[in-house]
Amino acid sequence: SLAITLLVITFSFPAVRAAASDLLSLFRVQKFAAISVSPEQLVLLEQVAEQGIMPGTLEIDQEPGALTAVNSLAEAASLTGLTEVRSLPQLGSPEEIFISSGGNGRFTIDEANARSLLDAANLNPDLLPPGIDGAGIRVAIFDGVEQRWADGTTLLQTDSPVVQYPDELDPALVGEALLQVLGLNPLEANRLANQIDWTSTLLLPIPSNMATFQEVTVQGVSGIGLSSVDGTINALVWQQNGRLYLLAGAQSTEVLTELANSVE
C-alpha cells in the first residue's frame, strides 16, 4: 500500500528507523528533505542492528496501511473525513478506490543504547544531548484515500502526519547526529542540520543503490521526486494545505509532475 510507502522509505532499515524517530515538539509534516545513503553505510547500519544495538523501543499502537475497497470518492471522503478528495481527470475515473487506514505509535529512547549505536557506527556518542533517556516520541498517521488506474498510476492523499517529541530534545542537534549516522561527515551534517527546519520537515533517507531523488515543484509547492534505479517506478511526494500526496507510476518524473499539477 502506498499509505506506508513513506514509512518504508524512511524506516527501511532497523538502525535508520530507530534513529529517524529521534527527529520528532508537536508538528504536522509540511515538507520533506531527502538524503542519499550509500550501500556501504547501509551495510554498517545493518551490522550495528544485528548486534542488537537499538536506540530505544518502538511500540505500534495501530499498524497503518490496511486497505478497504470502496465504490466512489464520495464514499471514501465520507468514511475518512477528508473533504474535497482530489483526483486525476486526465486519466479518467480510477479503476479502484481504497481507504487506507491510519496508525500511530511511540518510540521510547534508551540513552545508553543510543550512544552505543553512535559509537558502533564510529561516531561521537556525545553528539546526542544528555538527559534523553526514556523520552518518548509519538507519530500519528491518518486515514487516506488511494486511487488506482489501469496503467498502474496510483494517487494517495491523507492529512499530513503529526509528530510530537519532548521539549527537552533539541531537534537540530539530534538531526545532526542522525545525518552523521546516515553517512554525512561532521561538517556536512552540521551545515545541513542548520538549514533544515526540523519543526516541520520529515527527513527521507534514500538508499543510493535503490533510488535517486530530485526536488520538484507541484502546484507552487516544493516536493521530492523519486526514481528507482532499475527504472521501473517513479514517485512524487508533496504537501499542500495540510494534506500529504504521493503519486506513483511507471511514467517519468517529468510526466508525473505534469500529472501532479493537474490534480483537482
Q: Do residues 21 and 191 make contact, with C-beta atoms less than 8 angstroms apart?
A: no
Please list, residue by residue across 229-244, b when 16 or more beta carbons sit within 10 angstroms of its beta carbon and e when fewer do.
eeeeebbbbbbbeebb
Containing 97, the helix (H) or strand (E) segment is: strand 96-100
This prediction's pTM: 0.82
Helix 186-195 / helix 171-181 crossing angle, nearest 10 deg: 140
Helix 171-181 / helix 111-120 crossing angle, nearest 10 deg: 40
Q: Is residue 174 over pLDDT 70?
A: yes
3-15 pLDDT, tens digit per residue, is: 333 443 443 333 3
Higher pLDDT, 206 or 89: 89
So what's the pLDDT on residue 1?
A: 33
Choose from 71-80, 104-113, 221-230 the range with maximum mean pLDDT. Answer: 71-80
Distance CA 19, CA 177 (A): 9
